Amino acid sequence: MSLATLDERTGVLGRRNALAKLVAATVVGVPLLLSIDPVSAAVALAAVLVLLPFARLSARGLWLRLWPIVVSALMAAAATVLYGRAGGETYLQWGLVHVSDGSLLLAAAIALRVLAIAVPSVVLFATTDPTDLADALAQLAKLPARFVIGALAGMRLVGLLIDDWNELARARRARGIADNGRVRRFLGQAFAVFVLAIRRGSDLATAMEARGFDAPVTRTWARTSRLTAGDAVLVLLGLAVAAASVGIALVTGSWRFVLTL
């Protein structure tokens, strides 16, 4: 799971319950989806960035996970600057391109919003072990165990499928059928991976069933998922960030509900 997991189970965030992290990320993110204004997003992002050093994560590990989001936020902003809704003073007009006060403001709002929603989510989930998340979802959120454990076990197969894909590519080259058009080759190989995935899935299902999965008794949990005071603090921090961002946006009058845009 090293592909996804940063600071596994030892750091300040690693020790928090996965459900608390899920709630905190939702509490911060959802209000930001309701408005498009620079103020609420800027406040939320600033608060998250102020809190981030307290998590004591490795700067390099963090950057490796965050840079794709920074790049996509900048790309979204660039597109909005050029093509966004015009308003106020116009600085450049060339065909469809129309840079104005309105489009600049909207671009800033969008870039900040992408970052404000994504940064806490990525940080919280990169420090979450998938097994712990499954335990929390099944034991605390009371989602069906059959579904949660099935999904967890299935996720493990993703790594195997990456290996399968590479092996299939080599086998196809060895068999003389790798010179065909790219699209055809991709489709053929995708189908083969699909077939392998089904076989691996059904093998795994047999192995799980042989170990009593889905037996007609009440399942117990070897790892009890508990909520602690630290988890309450995390959720409260999330609530505080959300309240500050929405509150300040409302007070400054910049809050713009998305549906009225």
Partner 1 sequence: MSAAAVRARGWGWRHAGRGRFAVDGLDLDIAPGERVLLLGASGAGKSTLLRGLAGVLGGDEDGEERGELTVGDRPASRARGVAGLVLQDPDSQVVLARVGDDVAFGCENLGVAADEIWPRVGDALDAVGLRVGLEHATSALSGGQKQRLALAGALAMRPGLLLLDEPTANLDPAGVVEVRDAVIAAVAATGATLVVVEHRVDVWAAHVDRVVVLAAGGGVLADGAPDTVFRTHGDVLAETGVWVPGRHPHPALTAAADAASPALLSTHGLAVGRRPFGAREAVVAASGIALAARAGRVLAVTGPNGVGKSTLALTVAGLLAPAAGAVVASDELRAAGRATIGPDPLRWRSRELLTRIGTVFQSPDHQLAARTVRGELEIGPRALRLPPAEVAARVDPLLEEMGMSRLAAVNPFTLSGGEKRRLTVAAALATRPRVLVLDEPTFGQDARTWEQLVRLLGDLRAAGTAIVTVTHDEALVAQLADDVVALGAAASAPGGVG
Contact residues: partner 1, CB under 8 A: 1-3, 129-131, 152-153, 156, 159-160, 162, 164, 167-168, 170-179, 188, 192, 195-196, 199-200, 203-204, 206-224
Would you say 96 or 163 has its CB closer to partner 1? Answer: 163
Would you say 222 or 259 has its CB closer to partner 1? Answer: 222
Q: How far is the CB of 70 from partner 1 (least distance, A)?
A: 18
Q: How far is 196 from 135, CA to CA, in rounded Å?
A: 28
Would you say 143 or 168 has its CB closer to partner 1? Answer: 168
Would you say 189 or 245 has its CB closer to partner 1? Answer: 189
Q: How far is the CB of 177 from partner 1 (least distance, A)?
A: 6
Q: How far is 127 from 39, CA to CA, in rounded Å?
A: 28
Q: How far is the CB of 172 from partner 1 (least distance, A)?
A: 7
DSSP 101-151: HHHHHHHHHHHHHHHHHHHHHHHHHHT--HHHHHHHHHHTS---HHHHHHH
Determine whether 37 is exposed, middle or buried from the number of CB atoms within 10 Å of its CB (0-12, 13-18, 19+): buried
Would you say 89 or 167 has its CB closer to partner 1? Answer: 167
Q: How far is the CB of 24 from partner 1 (least distance, A)?
A: 24
Q: How far is the CB of 157 from partner 1 (least distance, A)?
A: 9
Would you say 81 or 149 has its CB closer to partner 1? Answer: 149
DSSP 147-201: HHHHHHHHHHHHHHHHHHHHHHHHHHHHTT-SSS-HHHHHHHHHHHHHHHHHHHH
DSSP state of 52: G
- Closest C-alpha to 113, from 5, 253, 255: 255
Q: How far is the CB of 47 from partner 1 (least distance, A)?
A: 32
